[in-house]
Amino acid sequence: MNLPNKLTVVRLIIIPFFLLLMVIPLGWGEISFLGATVPVAQFWATILFITATITDNLDGRIARRDHLVTNFGKFADPLADKLLVMTAFIVLTASGSVPAWVTSIIIWRELSVTGLRLLIVEQNGEVMAAKMPGKIKTTTQFIAIIFLLLNNALFAIWHIPFGEIMLYLCLFFTVYSGADYFIKSKDIFSDGFK
């Protein structure tokens, strides 16, 4: 278990703690900063979410820099991202911050691409590494989630719904990157159309 893989495992461990902070009514009060007011538990959940996104960035950089790319990392890293993102979007939908149809599309894409990755592993024996559109999708999702969790802190001063803007930008890249994966992997389905 090298360092990048340990960071991925840490990200997986963070997810249930993030969820608990978001759904259990802890009654810790609220915190106001940068034009926004956020429940304290949600603020700490956001800190955990940001920590998880930092580990996502670090594990990939370290793995590439130190030549520690493994099949476990290629599999578990995107899986941890998907679990983190899906958990956050489900919680944000339950709180009314994200429309259910947006969360449904995001989850549908994430599960579809995961299925495609598994099919490619079975056929080619290799794990499909993340492509640039998928990396942009992940980044925009992380930014949208952070600002939605923080009720548009900083941008709330100017009444700019930055979290919502990023939500629809990440929705675009979610759909685009999913389509890109399937179009570039269309040959894997050729046996079903003979």
Distance CA(34)–CA(106), nearest Å, equals: 29
Q: Which H helix or E strand runs over 192?
A: none
**Mean pLDDT on 137-147:** 94
Counts for the chain of helices (H) and strands (E), in that order:
6, 2
Report CA-CA distances (Å) from 84 to 13, 76, 130, 155: 10, 12, 16, 24
Distance CA(80)–CA(52), nearest Å, equals: 9
How far from chain centre, in Å, is Cα 15?
11
Q: Is the C-alpha dihedral spanning 121, 3, 14, 140 positive or negative?
A: negative
Distance CA(155)–CA(124), nearest Å, equals: 46
pLDDT-based confidence at residue 78 (cuts at 50, 70, 90): confident
Token pair belonging to 45: 């959940």
Which candidate, 49, 77, 84, places its Cα nearest to that of 61? 77
**Per-residue pLDDT reduced to its tens digit, 153-179:** 989 899 999 999 999 999 999 999 999
pLDDT at residue 124 is higher than 80 = no
Token pair belonging to 132: 């640039």
**Mean pLDDT on 105-118:** 89
Helix (H, G, I), strand (E, B) or coil at 95: coil
What one-letter code names the amino acid at 43? Answer: F
Q: Are 75 and 127 contacting, i.e. CB atoms less than 8 angstroms apart?
A: yes
pLDDT-based confidence at residue 117 (cuts at 50, 70, 90): confident
List, as one string, the DSSP characters of 69-97.
Answer: --HHHHHHHHHHHHHHHHHHHHHHHHTTS
Q: Are 163 and 117 contacting, i.e. CB atoms less than 8 angstroms apart?
A: no
pLDDT-based confidence at residue 57 (cuts at 50, 70, 90): confident
pLDDT at residue 180 is higher than 60 = yes
Give the predicted TM-score (pTM) of the model.
Answer: 0.87
In this prediction, residue 114 carries a pLDDT of 82
pLDDT at residue 140 is higher than 90 = yes
Token pair belonging to 42: 């949600």
Which candidate, 146, 150, 155, places its Cα nearest to that of 88? 146
